[in-house]
Amino acid sequence: MSDPIPSVWARPPRTRREQPALSQRQIVAEAIQLLDEEGVDALSMRKLGTRLNAGATSLYTHVANKDELIELVVDEVFGEVTVPAAEGPDGWREAATTFAASLRATILRHPWVASVIGAVGLIYFGPNMVRLSEDLLALFESAGFTLELADHAMSVLVAFILGASSADAAFLTTLARFGMDERELNDRLWPTAERAVRDHPRLRTLYTAKRQQDPKHTNEADFTLGVTWLLDGLAAQLPH
């Protein structure tokens, strides 16, 4: 018999003869709170057990290891993302834009997600990710894409959102580590940036202009423009 696939979604549910003291929901909720407060480097089964007033053994009733726990918490976080139904013939664009903003906001609420999502195992089999995928496919089908092209459109949109949001989430993690806000960190980094681009006039012009802007507003505006351009490109593929 071949080796089992290392994923919480790939193994059969464990049977229990008695009701455990801890539920999987409690474990996942506490793990998310720990990750939000202290970041992914702070997560361990022992530390999580301490926060739950339980030994690590109690946690292993529900999850085989830390990797499975990460799969569970990432899928739980994706449960916060919404995909509205399209209203009207062109409503798919507004719905896709709302989804993009929802996914970005979710990642920024939980910046640690950006650092683990590439290493999460069979994330697409988690119940919340399955729901999102089905809703996005339905949304793009309503726009006029075939199911196959809807799958491509979904992949392109999600890849852009994750890429753009990961950069912003990494910046938030840096802010938390240094105990600064966006403006203060940018001001502190300005001499370094100025030296780095002094021989590159285009970058120097951009950096100088952005220094006068609110970083949070700039990041949101850049993200919105990127989503708009991406949806323009997808719309161009629709049959007229």
pLDDT at residue 53, rounded to an integer: 87
Query: Would you list the DSSP string of the chain?
Result: -PPPPSSTTTSPPPP-SS--SS-HHHHHHHHHHHHHHH-GGG--HHHHHHHTTS-HHHHTTT-SSHHHHHHHHHHHHHTT---PPP-STTHHHHHHHHHHHHHHHHHHHSTTHHHHTTT-SSGGGSHHHHHHHHHHHHHHHHHT--HHHHHHHHHHHHHHHHHHHHHHHHHHHHHHHHT--HHHHHHHHHHHHHHHTTT-HHHHHHHHHHHTS-HHHHHHHHHHHHHHHHHHHHHTTS--
Assign domain 79-235 to a CATH class: mainly alpha
The reported pTM is 0.84
Same fold, 24-77 and 79-235: no
pLDDT digits over 218-231, tens only? 889 999 999 999 99
Ranges of residues in the chain whose predicted pLDDT is under 70:
1-4, 6, 9, 11-21, 56, 120-122, 240
Domain 24-77 bears CATH identifier 3.40.109.10: no
Output the average pLDDT for the chain. 86
* pLDDT at res. 177: 78
Determine the pLDDT at residue 67: 86
Per-residue pLDDT of 156-203, as tens digits, reads: 999 999 999 988 888 888 777 777 777 787 788 888 988 999 999 999
Which pLDDT belongs to residue 184?
81
Q: Where are the domains of the chain?
A: 24-77, 79-235
